[in-house]
Amino acid sequence: HPTQDRTVTFINDGSAGRPRDGDWRACYALVDAGFSEPGTLAVSFVRVPYDFAALQEALAETSLITTFQGPGTDALEGSPSSQQGVLDEA
């Protein structure tokens, strides 16, 4: 059989709930494991906007809001709440 690369690659696209890179959008990793070009591995990180205000409103109506106190989604640069002041501490 042909020689195989038995290297293990771990890909971490970061926190789903409290991103630390300042970008409020959801993120997922797209992995091309050599299907387009044999022997290669390419990783792309894709950002997807979502209804940020609806998330904040839903959190404000639950006890989960205390989990997100402090620097978090309301302080993310470019997020709808940093531009509009959507979230008030409950």
For residues 15-21, average pLDDT: 68
For residues 2-28, average pLDDT: 73
Whole-prediction pTM: 0.51
Tokens representing residue 47 in the block: 């950002």
CB 56 within 8 A of CB 86: yes
| C-alpha triplet 48, 36, 49: angle, nearest 5° | 0
Residue 90: the pLDDT is 36
For residue 75, the SS3 value is helix
- At 27-69, the pLDDT tens digits run 888 888 877 777 788 888 888 888 888 887 887 888 766 655 5
Higher pLDDT, 3 or 85: 3
Dihedral of the CA atoms 38, 14, 49, 90 (nearest 10)?
A: 170
CB 29 within 8 A of CB 13: yes
